Amino acid sequence: MFEAAELDQRVSKQEFEERVPVLRASLLDAQRLLAESDFAVVIVIAGAEGAGKGEVINSISEWLDTHGLEVHALDTTSSEENERPVLFRFWRRLPARGRTAVFFGSWYTLPIVERALDQSDEDHFDHELERIVEYERMLARENIVLVKLWLHISKKRQKKVFKKLESDPDTAWRVGERDWEFHETYDAFVAAAGRALRETDKAHARWNVINARDRRHRDLTSGQILLGAIEERLNAPPPTPAGPETPPVPPRVNVINSLDLSLRLEREEYDERLSSAQGRLGNLARRLTASQRAAVIVFEGTDAAGKGGCIRRITRALDARWYGVIPVAAPTDEELAHPYLWRFWRQVPAGGRFAIYDRSWYGRVLVERVEGFASRHEWQRAFGEINEFEEQLTEGGIQVFKFWLATSPEEQLRRFEDRRATPYKQYKITPDDWRNREKWLAYEAAACDMIERTSTEFAPWKLVSAEDKRHARVTVLETLCQGLEAVLERKKKSER
Amino acid sequence: MFEAAELDQRVSKQEFEERVPVLRASLLDAQRLLAESDFAVVIVIAGAEGAGKGEVINSISEWLDTHGLEVHALDTTSSEENERPVLFRFWRRLPARGRTAVFFGSWYTLPIVERALDQSDEDHFDHELERIVEYERMLARENIVLVKLWLHISKKRQKKVFKKLESDPDTAWRVGERDWEFHETYDAFVAAAGRALRETDKAHARWNVINARDRRHRDLTSGQILLGAIEERLNAPPPTPAGPETPPVPPRVNVINSLDLSLRLEREEYDERLSSAQGRLGNLARRLTASQRAAVIVFEGTDAAGKGGCIRRITRALDARWYGVIPVAAPTDEELAHPYLWRFWRQVPAGGRFAIYDRSWYGRVLVERVEGFASRHEWQRAFGEINEFEEQLTEGGIQVFKFWLATSPEEQLRRFEDRRATPYKQYKITPDDWRNREKWLAYEAAACDMIERTSTEFAPWKLVSAEDKRHARVTVLETLCQGLEAVLERKKKSER
Does A70 sit within 8 Å of B327, measured CB to CB? no
Does B424 sit within 8 Å of A61, measured CB to CB? no
Q: How far apart are CA B342 and CA B61, in angstroms?
A: 25
A-B interface: how many C-beta pairs under 8 angstroms? 114
Strand order in the sheet with B69-73: B69-73, B100-104, B40-47, B144-152, B207-211
Per-position b or e across A210-244, b if 16+ CB within 10 A of its CB: bbbbbbbbbbbbbbebbbebbbebeeeeeeeeeee
User: Do A138 and A377 contact (CB within 8 A), yes or no?
Assistant: no
Report CA Rg, chain A: 27
Predicted local confidence at residue B144, as pLDDT: 96
Q: At what angle do helices B469-495 and B307-315 cross, to 10 degrees?
A: 50
Half-sphere exposure of A358 (CA within 13 A, CB side): 23
Predicted local confidence at residue B427, as pLDDT: 78
B58 interaction partners in chain A (CB closer than 8 Å): 315-316, 320
Does A57 sit within 8 Å of B24, measured CB to CB? no
Interface test with A, best of B321, B354, B357 (most A CBs within 10 A): B321
- At A380, the pLDDT band (50, 70, 90 cuts) reads very high
Cα dihedral angle (B251, B252, B255, B258), rounded to 10 degrees? Answer: 180
Predicted local confidence at residue B437, as pLDDT: 86
In order of A112, A169, A210, B310, the CA distances from A159 in angstroms are: 20, 17, 19, 34
Predicted local confidence at residue B420, as pLDDT: 87
Q: What is the mean pLDDT of residues A235-246?
A: 77
Q: How far apart are CA A218 and CA A55, in angstroms?
A: 10
In order of A46, B118, B413, B442, the CA distances from B429 in angstroms are: 35, 58, 11, 20
A57 interaction partners in chain B (CB closer than 8 Å): 320
Interface test with A, best of B33, B67, B314 (most A CBs within 10 A): B67
In order of A182, A348, A359, B285, the CA distances from A344 in angstroms are: 37, 7, 11, 37
Strand order in the sheet with A69-73: A69-73, A100-104, A40-47, A144-152, A207-211
Provide the 3-class DSSP secondary structure of residue A339.
coil
Span of A45-54, A162-171, A361-370, A442-451 with lowest mean pLDDT: A162-171
DSSP string, A39-80: -EEEEEEEE-TTS-HHHHHHHHHHHS-STTEEEEE-SS--HH
A168 vs chain B: nearest CA distance in angstroms? 12
Span of A270-279, A483-492, B92-101, B242-251 with lowest mean pLDDT: B242-251
User: Do A46 and A189 contact (CB within 8 A), yes or no?
Assistant: no
B78 vs chain A: nearest CA distance in angstroms? 6
Does A71 sit within 8 Å of B320, measured CB to CB? yes
A131 has pLDDT over 80: yes
Which of the two residues, A429 and A152, has the higher pLDDT score?
A152
**φ, ψ for residue A263 (rounded to 5)?**
-65, 130
Could you report the per-residue pLDDT of B344-377, keeping only the tens digit for each?
Answer: 999 999 888 999 999 999 999 999 999 999 998 8
Q: Return mean pLDDT, chain B.
A: 92
B284 interaction partners in chain A (CB closer than 8 Å): none
Predicted local confidence at residue B87, as pLDDT: 92
How big, in percent rounded to 5, are the helix, strand and coil portions of chain A? 55, 15, 30
Candidate from A32, A282, A321 with C-beta closest to B104: A321
B248: Cα separation from own chain's centroid: 28
Span of B170-179, B322-331, B405-414 with lowest mean pLDDT: B170-179
**φ, ψ for residue B211 (rounded to 5)?**
-70, 115
Which of the two residues, B74 and A33, has the higher pLDDT score?
A33
**φ, ψ for residue B296 (rounded to 5)?**
-120, 130
B296's enclosing H/E stretch is strand B294-301
Nearest CA in chain A to B76: A321
B61 interaction partners in chain A (CB closer than 8 Å): 315, 320, 325
Nearest CA in chain A to B321: A73
B320 interaction partners in chain A (CB closer than 8 Å): 53-55, 57-58, 61, 71, 73, 104
8-state DSSP, B93? T
B221 has pLDDT over 90: yes
Which of the two residues, B168 and A34, has the higher pLDDT score?
A34
* % of chain B residues with pLDDT over 90: 76
A6 has pLDDT over 80: no
Predicted local confidence at residue B242, as pLDDT: 67
A54 vs chain B: nearest CA distance in angstroms? 5
A43 has which bridge partners?
A102, A147
Q: How far apart are CA A265 and CA A269, in angstroms?
A: 7
B428 interaction partners in chain A (CB closer than 8 Å): 65
A269 has pLDDT over 90: yes
B51 vs chain A: nearest CA distance in angstroms? 14
| Predicted-complex ipTM score | 0.81
Q: How far apart are CA B459 and CA B450, in angstroms?
A: 13
Interface test with B, best of A26, A57, A59, A66 (most B CBs within 10 A): A66
Q: How far apart are CA A162 and CA A156, in angstroms?
A: 10
Exposed / middle / buried, residue A4 (Cβ in 10 Å: 0-12, 13-18, 19+): exposed
Nearest CA in chain B to A33: B427
Residues 6+ apart with CB under 8 A from B124: none
DSSP string, A134-159: HHHHHHHHTTEEEEEEEEE--HHHHH
Q: How far apart are CA A211 and CA A53, in angstroms?
A: 12
Provide the 3-class DSSP secondary structure of residue A298.
strand
Nearest CA in chain B to A316: B58
User: Do A350 and A294 contact (CB within 8 A), yes or no?
Assistant: yes
**φ, ψ for residue B439 (rounded to 5)?**
-105, 30
Q: What is the mean pLDDT of residues A168-186?
A: 87
B50 interaction partners in chain A (CB closer than 8 Å): none
Q: Return mean pLDDT, chain A.
A: 92
Could you report the per-residue pLDDT of B188-217, keeping only the tens digit for each?
Answer: 999 999 999 999 999 889 999 999 999 999
Question: Pick from A234, A69, A58, A65: which is nearest to B424 by CA?
Answer: A65
Q: How far apart are CA B407 and CA B47, in angstroms?
A: 56
Q: How far apart are CA B353 and CA B398, in angstroms?
A: 9
B286 interaction partners in chain A (CB closer than 8 Å): 173
Residues 6+ apart with CB under 8 A from B226: B27, B41, B43, B60, B147
Could you report the per-residue pLDDT of A385-421, keeping only the tens digit for each?
Answer: 999 999 999 999 999 999 999 999 999 999 999 988 8
Residues 6+ apart with CB under 8 A from A260: A465
User: Do A234 and A435 contact (CB within 8 A), yes or no?
Assistant: no
Provide the 3-class DSSP secondary structure of residue A473.
helix
Nearest CA in chain A to B55: A320
Candidate from A279, A312, A319 with C-beta closest to B62: A312
In order of A284, A474, B405, the CA distances from A270 in angstroms are: 20, 7, 73
B317 vs chain A: nearest CA distance in angstroms? 10
Does A58 sit within 8 Å of B316, measured CB to CB? yes
Does A286 sit within 8 Å of B320, measured CB to CB? no
Nearest CA in chain B to A101: B324
pTM for this model (two decimals): 0.87
B457 vs chain A: nearest CA distance in angstroms? 31
| CA angle at B257 for the pair B256 and B258, rounded to the nearest 5° | 90
